[in-house]
Amino acid sequence: MTYRRHPIASGMLAAIVCWAVAFVSVGASPAAAGTSYSQVAAGHLHSCAITVGGTVKCWGWNGYGQLGNNAAADSAIPVAVQGVTGATAITTGLGHSCAIVTNGAIKYWGSNYLEQLGNNTTTDSTIPVDVQGFSGAIAISFGDSAPRSALCRRMGSQCH
């Protein structure tokens, strides 16, 4: 694997300024001209952002399918995550990504070696899958190297 970094900075009016530092050429800034974002999350070697319209775009390393575009290739520019609309929260980790959508459903994609996708398998997924048996989520977070997640439900303080 080639070492890559992709620092990001969020700016005013929900626009994102992005740049890449790499030992390989990754092209121009991943921020698509004219696209505004409401939230951004930086993973280990990939990032994802929610557009103002509620769709999700990801870019960077795609070794486990964590870009969510049903492909295996890395991308230096944002690619649309398949099947995610109405996103309200996003988080990224070492090799997986997650979004909460407007009805509180949780969608995961990418690495699943420790069943972190919540679909009772250990198979990686290049497209988002629904977390089984969990709804009403209002917050999600996980660390870079740990596959553990915090899922918080509405109407109480129950987190998993």
Per-residue pLDDT for 27 more than 50? no
- Tally of structural domains, the chain: 1
When pLDDT is averaged across residues 3-27 and rounded to a whole number, the result is 42
| Separation CA 138–CA 64 (nearest Å) | 26
Question: Can you name the residues that pair with 129 across neighbouring β-strands?
Answer: 108
- The H-or-E segment that residue 53 falls in is none
Does residue 159 sit within a domain? no
Q: What is the dihedral of CA 141, 61, 48, 42, to 10 degrees?
A: 50
Which is more confidently placed, 64 or 154? 64
Select the highest-mean-pLDDT range: 8-12, 43-47, 87-91, 145-149: 87-91
End-to-end CA distance of the chain: 33
Q: Grade residue 141 by pLDDT with cuts at 50, 70 and 90.
A: confident
Which is more confidently placed, 66 or 4? 66
CATH number at residue 26: 2.130.10.30
- The H-or-E segment that residue 37 falls in is strand 37-42
Residue-number span of the structural domain to which 84 is assigned = 4-153
pLDDT value, residue 75: 94
Per-residue pLDDT for 147 more than 70? no
Percent of the chain at pLDDT exceeding 90: 42
| Separation CA 160–CA 142 (nearest Å) | 11
Question: Can you name the residues that pair with 101 across neighbouring β-strands?
Answer: 87
Does residue 158 sit within a domain? no
Strand pairing report for 16-18 and 46-51: unpaired
Does residue 160 sit within a domain? no
